[in-house]
Structures are given as structure tokens and as C-alpha cells.
Structure 1
Amino acid sequence: MSCFSCFATSKKIINGVHPTTSPEEVNDTGNRNIKARNFTYRELASCTRNFHPNCLLGEGGFGRVYKGFLEPSSQNIAVKQLDRTGFQGNKEFLVEVLMLSLLDHPNLVDLIGYCSDGQQRLLVYEFMSNGSLDNHLFDLDPEDSHMNWKTRMKIGVGAAKGMEYLHNTANPPVIYRDMKSSNILLDEDYNPKLSDFGLAKLGPLGGDVHVSTRVMGTYGYCAPEYIKTGHLTAKSDVYSFGIFLLELITGRRAIDTSKLKKDQILVDWVQPMLKDKRRYKELLDPVLQEDDHPKTNELNQGIAIAALCVSEEPMVRPIMTEVVRALSSISIDL
């Protein structure tokens, strides 16, 4: 029995974790497989030179991420200090601790530990030297290096494998619910890892076909039926993956308010071109040099996969195993 299947009853703990529950209480729920280390705030302050600005890797609505150095293992780490007034509250913090402690795959970020010290909430991850994917796709200066087609497809395959693991191998299955470029972290070789599991949900069990939940996620990536009904399925994740794949191919954000109003929403902008294979080349990121353009069949297959994933009708969308197989065939040809 896997450590995740022995936590099958954790639907009431993970999906319905009480907002006031502490990580220490979670560790006392009877599950002995949680591998994340419980750090003190003082330990993490020491690792990050008291959260020195020179150690700051990035920040967003969730808080700030700092680079740290863990003694005595001499390991580089990333420390996410959650903003207590921001979106990611205690529930999301606990869900992430539980999820990443119980899941294990090369394309999921490793959670080393956490800190719940007073009002402080921090998460400690393995350090990913190339940061998040969005920093390599969007708002680049002309002198910045651009990811080539081969690297983009490598990232697409790896991210798809991470999602396939969540949907098909984890028991019970997990719906990620927050697939987007900023949540894909890259190591020194541009191998991708899914991160930020605060919104993840355990998938339906038995005869259930969906999980009913409050609509959460990032605008531009959420599946239309999930927005309308609150019914969450694995196919909701597939839609989000399709948007992510379109970002990889086009170099455009899911939502870009700097564009003309009619072109701001990526999935709407691509629709006319998705319906005409002769226009597929118009979707290719213009920063790609001509000698780095994919072969016609590679581009056609990549766009066809993305188009199926973002289908309005969930039943038309492929499952992630099919997405992995199709994207892998492109990578093999490169």
C-alpha cells in the first residue's frame, strides 16, 4: 500500500482541513509517512541571512521566496514566506504540506520542510536554479537568451508527466487545479517540476465523477465548465494544461492586458488559427529564430494537442496519458 493510499481517509483532512489546524496536529492524525521536516522560524532566518534582500528570489500575491543554505547538508533551498494577509491562508499551507509530503515524482517539486511558528507560515523546497518558467517566456529583454523549441517541448513533456502521475498513479487521484507557467519550476537542465499545491484537491472516488468546490485558480487557465458549475474533474486540469502548452508555443500569456482588447485572452486569440492548419505558423513565438523553427509535422502535432486540451466540451479533451504519449513523440523526433 502506498503512503498516499493509506491516507485515503484524508479527504476530510486535505480537502476539508480545518483552517485552525496546526501542522503539528496534522502530524498527530495517525499518518506516519509525512517526510517534511518541521523547521523553527529561527532556523530559516539563519538559512536566509535573516531574509536578506540579496537572497530574495521573487515575490507575488502569496508572499516572498528566498534562497537559503541548509547546514550541515550544504544544500541550497528555496524558502517561501507566506503573506499572512494574502490569499494563501492556513488551509492552503496545510494542504501543500500534506500533498507534497505524500506525493513523489521527478516532475513534482520536493518539499523539504515547513515552519508554523507563531503567526509565521513558511515552506521549504528544493532549490530550482532556473526559477519559474514564466521568467523565461515573457517580458524578455532583446539581449536575453530565449528557449528553443526543443527545450519548450522537453518542458511540456515533463510537466505532462507530472500531471499524469497526479491523475493516474496517486491513490486517491489528485486534481492540481493551478496549472500555469509561474508554477512550473526549472532546474539547471531545464527539467520542469510542478509546484504550489495549495489549491490541489483529492479527486472523486467511487461512483463520483467530479468534486464540487468553490471556483479557485487563475483566470485565463480555468476550464469553462468549472467556472460555470464548480464541478472539478481531471479534465479541468487538462484544459489548464492546454493553455500552458499554448503559452509554450506562442510565447504569449494566458491573459495579457497590454494587448488590444480582442487579443488579451490567449484562448480566444488562437481560435481562428486553430481552425485553419495553414495558419498554424502564425501561432509560433516570434522570438524563435528561423533555424530553430520546428518541422511542420512537429508544430502541427503540438498545436493539435493544445487544441484538443482546450476544447469547450470536456469529453473531447484527452486524458493526460494520451497527452504524454503525443508530446513524447514530438520530443523523440527532435
Structure 2
Amino acid sequence: MNLSIVLFWIIAISIHIVGVVSKTKAPDVSALNVMYSSLNSPSQLSGWGSSGGDPCGDSWEGIQCSGTSVTEIHLSDFGLSGSMGYQLSNLVSVTYFDLSKNNLNGDIPYQLPPNAVHVDLSENSFTGSVPYSISQMGDLNFLNLAHNQLSNQLSDMFGKLPKLKSLDLSYNSISGTLPQSFNKLSSLTTLHLQENQFKGSINVLADLPLDDLNVANNQFTGWIPATLEDINNLETVGNSWSTGPAPPPPPGTAAANKKSNKDKSSNKSSSISGLVIAGIAMGVLVLIAILIALISRRSPPSHYLDEDTNPHRSFTPLTSQELTKGLHNGDDRKSINSDTSVDIKALQNASSGLIRPPPPFDPVQAFSDSQFASRLNSRRSTSVRAISYSLVDLQAATANFSTARLLGEGTIGRVYKAKYGDGKVLAVKKIDSSVFEGRRKEEFSEVVAIISKLRHTNLTEVVGFCSEQGHNMLLYQYFMNGSLHEFLHMSDDFSKPLTWNTRVRIALGTARALEYLHEVCSPSIIHMNIKSSNILLDTDLNPRISDYGLATFYKNRREVPGVGYDAPECKKGSSYTMKSDIYSVGVVMLELLTGRMPFDSSKARAEQSLVWWATPQLHDIDALDKMVDPALRGLYPPKSVSRFADIISLCVQSEPEFRPPSSEVVQALVTLVQRSSMNVRDDLGSSRRVDDYDY
């Protein structure tokens, strides 16, 4: 009997113990307990606690498990503050670790989950250095530390990360040169280093398999390696690149081997060509001597050729294929074959050694930003990238260009919405036929060939064109959010206003697009019609500039390029310059600041012109506070607004020479973001007040 009772209690206790045993490994629980306390015990993390608990069994917020191990932590955009604790190295099974878009601060913990594949700590307020422990994370595939306040130099920590494909360190204050171990990142395809303080050369990147590289707005010097020229997405502006002849690449690099092979091939080819040319020259001299001897027997000795000799007479072939190749570049040089008459000048040049094969292409040749971008574009394609659409198809897609499909009307034509059966939607710009009066027929296709090759994240892509029966149309990406003009001036009381951070982001993106057109494209492209209705907004409210590259059609189209947006010097289209574009961007930024139209005839005369009314008040703190768009309901940082106003005042100066170039406008806006600790990718659906910081 007593034995039965003992067995009963043993079984009961065992069942109880099994029932209370956690489904999560103890080290994982301990690490998450420390993290919760370090994050200031946030209430939004349901299920979490500072002591004990069962993350896997009780489904803690943002935690995913496999068996008894925590494998993924998804805590992006939870409004978290504080730090992540000191026990992250316990999370040995975590492969996905995302705490981006929060308010975390202090140093990034020395040790992160050691076997993580995906780490995203971007858009926080971390300071200090990039932790060296990353060097031990051999499985790391994705690392994003962008939009923080990291500083100091990068340690030489990348030698053992063969699986790393994407690295983003942009929008920090990291300095120094790029570590040599970067050249060990054999899988790296995406590298973003923009908006830091890196210096020195980028030669260490020359042999990486990159297809997306952004090193803009640093302090890099030297030359852009020619091996990077075929990268699909490349941004290099805002550095101090050298423009003189580049030195040879270091021995042992891919570029050096490539050049060496080219040189060997060239030397071999040159040797062969030299022998051939020498032989030909001797043959030519012999032939000429024979001809002279023959002619001298038939004519007076004072003439080499009889004036009546037929200049188109055929001669026996005198050259080989090598010489023919050597002659193909000159306009006045003719290939010599049995069906072509002898070009005496070419023969004389050949005999004197003036005709040589073209020199081999030097892969280490240096280019300026504009030259590099131009060469890159020309190498990628010399044909029109946009698709040709038939007039019949566009008539069907736009309901025969009905008013119901009309999206807007601009300076040179109307824009219609085109809808297709497969769900595709495009915007069709139908250019007025009067624009082409007195112009060459080829002018439209020439413009299409140029603008269809332009690519930038803040440009509206030209995807097609139509030129039939006197109709000339351009097809663009369609954005449901419409234009900035609609957001600022046509929203109803139920629409959510653009937050302050979003407005700054729109200004920055617009300036970046202009920087690309002005300073990267070669030759430079003047937009000439910058206005809020030509700034479209994508699903994330990023700006996309349209109508670029059409300045030739605006010229002499009207006296004033755009009411309210025109710089004082713009009496007519021909006086429009890049600095006039800067003025127009300044007016757009005034719209973002005040919510007012550039010109409003319904207001008192002194307030009708936005620039005239606003400019005198841009440096008056009290007046500036009253100028801010009421739709923001006071949810903005005063110091950020003041800095924004300073940038505007530079752009809208009456004298063009005092306005900054587009790259300086970009840098000023970037500095504004950094000094205000703004998150330029804030929650687009809500407004919140941004704390001010003293600097």
C-alpha cells in the first residue's frame, strides 16, 4: 500500500515537472530576458519578461523558433529604445536578426548572434564603431548598419566573410580608408558606403562581383577603376576623383592581369602588323619603281603619270587582311582589294609607316564622374531602350485619349492614363503637334534615344514612345499617389498630411535627381520645368522627377517657363541655365515648408508670389514658425525647419551665380538630416514631433 502511494506521487511529480519544463533553451531565455531589460522593458513586446518565461512556447512578440531554439528575431519599427543587452552571443541558433527602424542608441554590442545570416540594425541612433566581432560571423549574408551615427575607422575585419552578399554602411560618419580585407568579399554584389567620410582610393573594390555600388558623398580620391564600369547601379558623385592619366594597376590584380594579357596580345599583333606593313611598303616601293620605269619609256621624263591616266583603274591586290584592318579607322583610308582602286595617299602613308593599328584600350584609364557615367551609358547601349508602342494600342488603352483618362495638362502637352488587359498601367504624355513645327523629323527620336537610357532612383523611367501619323508620345511609369502638387494643394480634410521628415526626404530626392542630370550626365541635362506637379510620388512617397530631357521642346515655347517657379533671369527659354533649375527647386522646397502655391492670385498682392513673400522671413525665427504649413499641426523640429529655410534662401537668390550647384544642395540637405538625427524613412502614415538636438 505504501509502495503504491509512493509510485503515485512519483508519477504525479513527473507529470508536473514535464508540464512546467520550458520549450525554450535556457541560454536563449536568459539572452532575451537581458535584452528586454536593456530595451527599458517595452510594453509593446507582448509576452516578454525580464526573468524566465518561455519565448517559444508562449510565442513572444517577434520571436520565431525551431524546436527549443530561437531562430529569428523580427523587431523592426517597434519604437524601441535603449540597447540590446550583452548576451547576444548566447543566441547561437538565430539566423535572422532585425531591430531596424527603432530608437536604439549607444554602441552596437561587441558580440551579435554568432551564426546570423541576416542582420539589420539600420535607422537607429547607434554610435561608436562597427564591432570587430562581425569578422567571426562566417555565415553572414546580409548586413545593414545604415542611417546610424557610427564613426571611427573600419577595422580590417572582412577577410573571413565569403558569404556576405550585401553590405550597407551608408549615412554614418565612418572615416579612414577602405580596409584591404574588402577584396576578400568574394560574394559581395551590393555595397552602399554613401554619405560617410571615407577617404583614399576605391581600388580595393576593383575585383569584387558588384552590381550595385554607391560611394557618393565621401572624400575618396584617385581614380575609378575601369573594372567597375559595367556595374548596373553605380553612384560616385561628391568625391574628389582624379582626372589625369591613371597609374597602372597593382601587379596580381584582375585589372593588371587583364591589361597584361591585352598588352601581350597587342605586342604580338603589333609585331605581326609591323612585319606585314614593312613587307607591303617594300612591295609598294618596288611597284612604284616598276611603274616609273614603264611610264618613263612612254612619256617625257618630267611626268610620273600621264594626265590622261584613268584614276579608277583596277590594280592587282597589294595587301593582306592585316593592313585592311589597320586602315579601317580613317575616313580617308580605303581597304585595298581586287574590286577597289588603289588609294595613292594610303599607299604613301603605308610606305612611310603612318598607318598603324589603333592602340589597345587601357582598362585603368581614369575618368571624371561625368566622363565615367557617359562612357558607361554609351557602352551599355547606343540604341533606344524604350519600347515602341503603336498608335492603335495607345488609343485603345486610353479610351481614345478621353477626358476621363486625362491625368493632367502641362506646357507642351497632356498626360493620359493607359490601362491594359494584363493590369499594366502607364502614363502617356501626348506632345502637342505644334511643338514640332519647323523642327527636323528626327529630333523626337533623338530625344527619346537620350532620355530612355537615363536611370536614377528619383527619376520617372521612360518605358516607351510612339511616333506615328504626326503623333509623338512618351510613356512613363504610372504612380497611383500622383504628384507632390496634389498632396500639398489638392488634399481634402480627411487626407493625412506629409510629415516633416517625408517633406525633407522629398526635397533630398529631388535634389539628387537634379544632381544626376546636372553633374553625372554628360553632356549635362537642364530640366527647365521643375515644379511640384512634375514631382511624382511612389508608394513609399519617394520623389520621381518627370519631364526631364525635354528642354529643347520648351525653348521659345512661351515667355515664362513656369509661373511662380521661374528665376528672375528667365525672360525667355534660351536664358535658362542649371542655376535656373536650382531656383525652381528652391521654390518647391518653399512649397514643402509652407504648403502654399508658388503663385496664388487669391491672396493679397504682397503675398501672391511665394518667393517674394517668404524670402524676407526665412531668417526670422518667429516669422518662420508662422510660415510653416498648418497641416503639420506643429509636429516638426524648429531647428530642422530653420536649417531647411537656410538652404531655401540660398537656392532662391536673385543672382544665379550666388546659387549653389545641385551637389551642394544635396550635401546641405544630408547635413540637415544628420545634424537633426532625423530618420528620413519615417512612418509615412503618421506624424510625430522630432526631438531637437544642440550642435
What TM-score comes out, normalization by structure 2 length? 0.40
| C-alpha deviation, 1:5, in angstroms | 5.6
Q: Structure 1: which amino acid aligns with 2:495?
A: D
Match of 1:218 in 2: 562
Residue 160 (structure 1) aligned with residue 511 (structure 2): yes
Partner residue in 2 for 1:134: 485
8 Å CA contact retained: 2:561, 2:573: no
Amino acid at match of 1:188: T
Aligned residues: 300
| Greater Cα shift, 172-181 or 268-277 | 268-277
Instruction: Give the aligned partner of residue 543 of structure 2.
Output: 192
Instruction: Give the letter aligned to residue 328 of structure 1.
Output: V
Q: Which residue of 1 aligns with 2:137?
A: none
Residue 97 of structure 1: CA displacement?
2.3
How far, CA to CA, are the matches of 2:654 and 2:564 in structure 1? Answer: 14
Give the match for residue 453 of structure 2.
Answer: 102
One-letter amino acid matched to 2:431: L
The CA deviation string for residues 95-144 of structure 1, in whole angstroms up to 9 with x for no partner, is: 75244213221111111111111022222111112111100111432223
Q: Greater helix share, 1 or 2?
A: 1
Match of 2:433 in 1: 84
For 2:629, which of 268, 285, 293 is the aligned residue?
285
- Tell me which of 225, 244, 254 is aligned to 2:598: 254
Report how far residue 285 of structure 1 moved.
0.7
Q: State the AA in 2 paired with 1:258.
A: S
Name 2:390's counterpart in structure 1: 40
- Whether 1:245 and 2:245 are equivalent positions in the alignment is no
Aligned residue number for residue 502 of structure 2: 151
Q: Distance in 2 between matches of 1:164 and 1:214?
A: 26
2: CA distance between counterparts of 1:217 and 1:268?
Answer: 18
Query: d(CA) in 2 for partners of 1:40 and 1:297?
Result: 53
- Match for 1:273 among 607, 617, 622? 617
1:318 matched to 2:660? The reply is yes
- CA distance in 1: counterparts of 2:438 and 2:421, whole angstroms: 28
Correspondence for 1:16: none
The structure with the larger Rg is 2
Question: Contact 1:199/1:217 (CA < 8 Å) preserved in 2?
Answer: no
2:608 corresponds to 1:264: yes
Contact preservation (8 Å) 1:164, 1:320: yes
**Percentage of pairs with the same residue:** 37
1:149 counterpart letter in structure 2: W
CA distance in 1, matches of 2:656, 2:591: 20
Distance 2:523 2:573 in 1: 23
Question: Would you say the 8 A contact 2:558–2:572 is kept in 1?
Answer: no
Q: Distance in 1 between matches of 2:540 and 2:632?
A: 20
> Aligned partners of 1:166, 1:152: CA distance in 2, in Å?
21
CA distance in 1, matches of 2:433, 2:445: 14
State the distance in 1 between where 2:654 and 2:579 align. Answer: 11
Distance in 1, matches of 2:383 and 2:573, equals 35
Structure 1 residues 275 and 227 mapped into 2: Cα distance closer, same or farther (>3 Å)?
farther
Secondary structure class of the residue paired with 1:287: helix
CA apart distance, 1:265: 0.6
Separation (CA, whole Å) in 1 of partners of 2:665 and 2:438 = 34
Say if 1:212 and 1:117 are closer, same or farther in 2 by CA, change over 3 A: closer
Unpaired runs of 5+ residues, structure 1, are: 9-30, 202-210
Rounded to whole Å, the distance in 2 between the matches of 1:53 and 1:180 is 23
Relative to structure 1, the CA distance from residue 136 to residue 119 in structure 2 (aligned partners, 3 Å threshold; closer, same or farther) is: same
User: Structure 1: how far apart are the matches of 2:622 and 2:436?
Assistant: 44
Among 194, 214, 233, the alignment partner of 2:577 is 233
Retained in 2: the 8 A contact 1:95–1:197?
A: no
- Whether the 8 Å contact between 2:527 and 2:547 is mirrored in structure 1 is no
Distance of 1:50 and 1:264 partners within structure 2: 39
Deviations 1:137-171 (A, max 9, x none): 11432223221211111111110100000111001
Task: Output the TM-score relative to the length of structure 1.
Answer: 0.79
**In the TM superposition, what is the alpha-carbon distance from 1:306 to its structure 2 partner?**
0.3
Please state how far the C-alpha of 1:216 moved relative to its aligned partner: 5.0
CA distance, structure 1, for counterparts of residue 438 and residue 452 of structure 2: 16
Any conservation in 1 of the 2:451–2:549 contact (CA below 8 Å)? no
Contact 2:385–2:449 (8 Å) recurs in 1: no
User: In structure 2, what is the Cα distance between the partners aligned to 1:198 and 1:316?
Assistant: 25
Q: What do you get for the CA RMSD once the two structures are aligned? A: 3.2
Residue 225 of structure 1 aligns to a residue whose secondary structure is coil
| Counterpart Cα distance in 1 of 2:528 and 2:595 | 22
Give distance in 2, aligned partners of 1:120 and 1:42: 11
- For structure 2, the residue ranges without an aligned partner over 5 or more in a row are 1-370, 679-695
Question: Structure 2 CA distance, aligned partners of 1:328 and 1:41?
Answer: 44
2:639 aligns with: 297
| Residues in 1 aligned to 2:415 and 2:572: alpha-carbon distance in whole angstroms | 34
State the secondary structure of the residue aligned to 2:466. strand
Check whether the contact 1:4–1:103 (CA below 8 A) recurs between aligned residues: no
Output the CA distance in 2 between the equivalents of 1:52 and 1:69. 12
Corresponding position of 2:174: none
